[in-house]
């Protein structure tokens, strides 16, 4: 329907061009909306947790309870249960990672902001790079560079001829596939979710401007868009969880004594 309307010179369906936002001011690529949203997320996260911990008491306020619940979730469920006894030194990174991704994802359904910063692939790439550096650094420090590389390339208990196929796969997995899949999974989900919301919300708005038959259909498009918004909220939370969980799993693997 959308494509037919576009051919008639009416409705232009959303596309990747809707993610290429112009600078808010000037002609500088560093003054675009996604950049400002990232800075805004840092401010909001900082203000929230400072306010939540400012007047901490044994009987927590609602704000303190909310802040402690998020921290406890990351500390216990994503750090302690996955990494093990050395988890505490990684809690700050995992906590920062989870709250940062979650906040920037939720921007996609917040009125007037309505753009998930993680739908720009450069941000997931940078986060995946941080994780990549951290878990390799931890592994090298824990096992030594030679032992770590030997563990990756020559899995114990495998017949030597199998290494011809297995070694390139393992090297590619550790040094290429892991950071790429980690970042692209987050990016693709945020990109696709936001694009779907644009299709149904903008499509419903366009149908309201059409003939009576199209106007009768428009409420269904809006209703579907609202339903997708709740679904997108679930996906946004899930993707922040998955990214942080995989990071914890990679760190746990780096600390493990066996491959």
pLDDT in tens, 55-100: 878 878 889 999 999 999 999 999 999 998 999 999 999 999 999 9
Instruction: Provide the percentage of residues in the chain whose pLDDT is more than 90.
Output: 59
CB count in 10 Å sphere of residue 21: 13
What pTM did the predictor assign?
Answer: 0.89
**DSSP code at position 174:** I
Mean pLDDT, rounded, of the chain: 87
Whether 118 and 186 have beta carbons less than 8 Å apart is answered as: yes
pLDDT in tens, 127-145: 999 999 999 999 999 999 9
Domain residue spans in the chain? 63-257
Of residues 128, 106, 249, the one with CA closest to residue 182: 128
Could you tell me the two tokens for 56? 């901490």
Q: State residue 130's pLDDT score.
A: 96
Which residues are CB-neighbours of 167 under 8 A, at least 6 positions away?
153, 154
Q: State residue 169's pLDDT score.
A: 92
Exposed, middle or buried, 111 (CB in 10 Å: 0-12/13-18/19+)? exposed
111: left (phi over 0), alpha (psi -120 to 50) or beta: beta
Whether 101 and 186 have beta carbons less than 8 Å apart is answered as: yes
Whether 118 and 97 have beta carbons less than 8 Å apart is answered as: no
Give the confidence band of 1 by pLDDT, cuts at 50, 70, 90. Answer: very low
């Amino acid at each position: 329907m959308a494509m037919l309307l576009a051919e008639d010179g009416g409705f232009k369906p959303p596309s990747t061009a809707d993610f290429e936002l112009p600078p808010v001011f000037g002609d500088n690529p560093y003054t675009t909306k996604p950049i400002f949203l990232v800075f805004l997320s840092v401010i909001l996260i900082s203000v929230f947790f400072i306010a939540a911990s400012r007047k901490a008491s044994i009987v927590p306020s609602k704000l303190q309870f909310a802040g402690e619940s998020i921290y406890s979730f990351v500390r216990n469920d994503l750090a302690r249960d996955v990494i093990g006894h050395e988890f505490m030194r990684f809690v700050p990174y995992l906590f920062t990672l989870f709250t940062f991704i979650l906040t920037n994802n939720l921007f996609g359904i917040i009125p007037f902001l309505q753009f998930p910063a993680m739908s720009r692939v450069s941000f997931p790439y940078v986060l995946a790079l941080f994780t990549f550096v951290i878990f390799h650094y931890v592994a090298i420090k824990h096992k030594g560079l030679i032992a770590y590389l030997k563990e990756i390339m020559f899995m114990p208990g495998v017949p030597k001829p199998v290494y011809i196929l297995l070694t390139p796969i393992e090297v590619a997995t550790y040094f290429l596939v892991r950071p790429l899949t980690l970042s692209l999974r987050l990016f693709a989900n945020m990109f696709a979710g936001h694009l779907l919301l644009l299709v149904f919300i903008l499509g419903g708005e366009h149908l309201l401007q059409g003939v009576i038959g199209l106007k009768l259909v428009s409420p269904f498009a809006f209703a579907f868009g609202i339903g997708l918004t709740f679904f997108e909220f679930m996906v946004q939370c899930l993707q922040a969880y998955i990214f942080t969980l995989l990071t914890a799993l990679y760190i746990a693997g780096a600390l493990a004594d066996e491959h």
